[in-house]
Amino acid sequence: MPIPLTFEIHHKSKENAARTGTVTTPRGSFKTPAFMPVGTRATVKGLTPQQVRSTGSEIILNNAYHLALRPGDEQIAKLGGVHKFMRWNRPILTDSGGYQAWSMADINKLDEDGVTFKSIIDGSMIRITPERSIEIQNNLGADIIMAFDDCPSSVAPQTQNLARRRHALTSRDGVLTEDAHEKRLLESLDRTARWLERCASTHAKPDEQALFGIVQGGTNLDLRARSVEQVCSVALPGYAIGGVAVGESPDAISNVVKYTAKLLPEEKPRYLMGVGYERDLLAAVTSGVDMFDCVLPTRNGRNAHAFTRKGQLHLRNARFKDDEAVLEEGCTCTTCASGFSRAYLRHLYASKEMLSGILVSMHNIHHFQSLMVDIRAAIRDDSWSLLIQRWPVLQEGQKLTQTHTAQEPV
């Protein structure tokens, strides 16, 4: 049986758990640590595949949930798969739809077999089971596919986001206590473990698509250890850390990732889902994480926020009115290399012109890819202080806000 994914480790840091490597899939390789831009509906918002490629991206993420609703996974299969559909001939990863079913749907109901929720498109009831999620992802044909997991909240009920609180309320007629929350997490972990086995056994293309398992467990390290044991008992080409960056503090994220990553098999790629800001990425890399995805560069690009090595620029600010400088001096992204000024970008945002989000999304993705290039160099040479010197945003004291999950808004 052909192997759908190989992972070669090139360098290991002497100072921490970071490593560089190459993941090879049937559609080509990508260097790790890797950052994947998010292309929810088979398009990285506003960018052609060529423009995405120009940012240095080697792999992108699509959302199984959104594509199953529209145009439909069978439809995409009929059209030759998602690579051909969107004209991106490099690696693609699809998430399982579990997180989306929970966080986006108005009504959702969990049972032992799966999740039932209302379609955001036509209000019809949709059911996703582990089997259906893998069927969707088999139909889409991404190179890496994700297990369908139960997505419990990783934070205590009082700090949960709205969707989580709503679920707690609908399932228990009241806010959960801490103990009840732990109990539910435990049930959820065991369910995720049972679902993973169903995902693995239903996977129709194990020689073409690499299935990754997802470790859950919230911020409770004992539960994380239990989840690692359960998930890694199924031999898979890679493993992910899920349920992170859904409302915790940066320190909590960092602790969970540091603790969990080292428990995962060293020879397999480790993927931290939906994270995050620059410092989150660095912390995770030094804990041994190899893959990341996040909507920040594109979402913030559309919202007039440009990333720079010194922090974000808010381009609607009047101070950019006369600013002839490019977003970041010396930046080699298409936007900066073409010479578009902050003043022009501010004008485009003020005029609600599409080109604003396009140009700044390109710059922002390139920003994250440049960070990964420099992180890989730091790992190779153990030149961490040089990295932090070149990226002031990585220094302590820089403000960090909440990260976001792996989907673009409607």
Note the residues at the interface with a copy of itself (CB under 8 A). 41-43, 45-50, 66, 70-71, 75, 78-80, 85-87, 321-322, 324, 334, 338-341, 343-344, 346-348, 350-355, 357-359, 410
- Least distance in Å: CB of 248 to a copy of itself? 31
- Least distance in Å: CB of 136 to a copy of itself? 16
Q: Which of 99, 101, 219, 102 is nearest to 166 (CA)?
A: 102
* Residue carrying structure tokens 């918002």: 45
Rounded to whole angstroms, how far apart are CA atoms 334 and 362?
A: 7
Residue 179 annotated among the catalytic residues of the structure? no
Q: Which of 249, 250, 246, 242 is nearest to 270 (CA)?
A: 242
Cβ–Cβ under 8 Å, residues 23 and 29? yes
> Which of 95, 150, 290, 374 does the annotation list as catalytic?
95
Q: Which of 309, 318, 373, 299 is nearest to 336 (CA)?
A: 309
Rounded to whole angstroms, how far apart are CA atoms 217 and 187?
A: 10
Whichever of 129 and 407 has its CB closer to a copy of itself, that residue is: 407
- Least distance in Å: CB of 205 to a copy of itself? 22
* Residue carrying structure tokens 């206590």: 177
The full 3-state SS of 231-268, as one line of letters, equals HHCCCCCEEEECCCCCCCCHHHHHHHHHHHHCCCCCCC
Whichever of 79 and 169 has its CB closer to a copy of itself, that residue is: 79
Strands (E), 186-227: 210-215
Residue 293 annotated among the catalytic residues of the structure? yes
Whichever of 229 and 324 has its CB closer to a copy of itself, that residue is: 324
Whichever of 137 and 230 has its CB closer to a copy of itself, that residue is: 137
- Least distance in Å: CB of 344 to a copy of itself? 5
3-state secondary structure of 392: helix
| Distance, C-alpha 188 to centroid of its chain | 21
- Least distance in Å: CB of 120 to a copy of itself? 11
Whichever of 70 and 172 has its CB closer to a copy of itself, that residue is: 70
Rounded to whole angstroms, how far apart are CA atoms 162 and 176?
A: 14
Q: What is the DSSP string of 112-148?
A: TTEEEEE-TTT--EEEE-HHHHHHHHHHHT-SEEE--
- Least distance in Å: CB of 156 to a copy of itself? 36
> Which of 143, 280, 293, 374 does the annotation list as catalytic?
293
Q: Phi-psi bin for 154: left (phi > 0), alpha (psi -120 to 50), beta?
A: alpha
Indicate which residues carry an active-site annotation. 95, 293
